Amino acid sequence: MIAELIQVADTWTTGPLTGQEPRRQRSVHWFIDLDAHGNVLGLSPTAGQEEKRAKQFALPANYKLGSPNQFNWLPDFLSGPPNEIFPDGVMGTNSEGNKAKQAKWLELVLRAGKELPNNEAVQGVVKFVERNPVFSELPLPELADEDKKALLKDLDGGTVTFSFRVNGRLVFNQPDAKSWWARQVQNQRNQIVGRLRLGQDAFLQDSGPLTDSSPTVFGNVPLASFDKAPFWSYGLGNQTATFRLETAEKAAAALNALVNNQSFRFQLEQFGKKQLFAVFWAVHRTSGQQFTADFMQLLDQPDPLAVRDYLCGIWGKRPPEIAMADFHVAILLKGTGRFSVRSWHTDTLGNADEHVRRYFEAIKLPDDEEQSPALRDLAWVTIAKTKRQKTKPAPATYNALFESAWRGTPLPFDLLAATIERQRVELASGDPDTAEFKARLAARTALVQLYFALKLNNPLLTTSEMTINTKETAILCGRLLALFDKIHDAAHDGKSASSPANRLYGAASATPALVFPRLCHLARYHLQRIGGGWAHNLEFGVPKEKRMDGVLEDFEGLAAVVARLKEAAGGDFPRILSLEDQGRFALGFYYERERCRRWPSSQTEQPETSNS
pLDDT tens, residue by residue, 264-317: 988 888 888 888 989 999 998 888 888 888 888 889 877 888 888 888 875 556
Amino acid found at 463: T
Assign 52 a pLDDT band (cuts: 50, 70, 90).
low
CA dist., res. 485 & res. 413, Å (int) = 29
Q: CA torsion, points 552, 553, 554, 558, in degrees to nearest 10?
A: -130
For residue 224, what pLDDT is reported? Answer: 79
Q: Over 60: is that where the pLDDT of 369 sits? A: no
CA dist., res. 14 & res. 260, Å (int) = 13
Identify the weakest region by mean pLDDT among 216-225, 496-505, 569-578: 216-225
Q: 267 Cβ partners below 8 Å, 6+ apart?
A: 275, 276, 277
Assign 426 a pLDDT band (cuts: 50, 70, 90).
very high
Which H/E stretch holds residue 253?
helix 245-259
pLDDT tens, residue by residue, 521-554: 999 999 999 888 889 889 898 888 888 877 888 8
For residue 416, what pLDDT is reported? Answer: 95
Identify the weakest region by mean pLDDT among 260-269, 399-408, 558-567: 260-269
Please give the backbone phi and psi of residue 216, each rounded to the nearest 5 degrees, phi first: -95, 150
Mean pLDDT value across residues 567-587: 91
Mean pLDDT value across residues 20-30: 89
CA dist., res. 85 & res. 134, Å (int) = 10
Assign 167 a pLDDT band (cuts: 50, 70, 90).
very high
Contact criterion met (CB below 8 Å) for 223 and 255: yes
For residue 506, what pLDDT is reported? Answer: 93
pTM of the complete model: 0.82
For residue 49, what pLDDT is reported? Answer: 55
Strand pairing class (162-166; 30-34): parallel
Mean pLDDT value across residues 410-418: 95
pLDDT tens, residue by residue, 445-489: 999 999 999 987 665 555 667 777 788 899 999 999 999 999 999
pLDDT > 90 in the chain, percent: 45
Identify the weakest region by mean pLDDT among 211-220, 225-234, 244-253, 325-334: 225-234
CA dist., res. 151 & res. 132, Å (int) = 23
Q: Which comes out higher in pLDDT, residue 270 or 497?
A: 270
pLDDT tens, residue by residue, 197-239: 999 988 898 999 988 888 888 877 888 777 655 544 445 555 5
Q: How close are the terminal C-alpha atoms of the chain, in Å?
A: 64
Residue 322: which of 285, 354, 297, 359 has the closest Cα? Answer: 285
For residue 462, what pLDDT is reported? Answer: 54
Mean pLDDT of the chain: 86
Q: Over 70: is that where the pLDDT of 263 sits? A: yes
CA dist., res. 474 & res. 472, Å (int) = 6
Mean pLDDT value across residues 399-405: 93
Residue 488: which of 559, 446, 538 has the closest Cα? Answer: 538
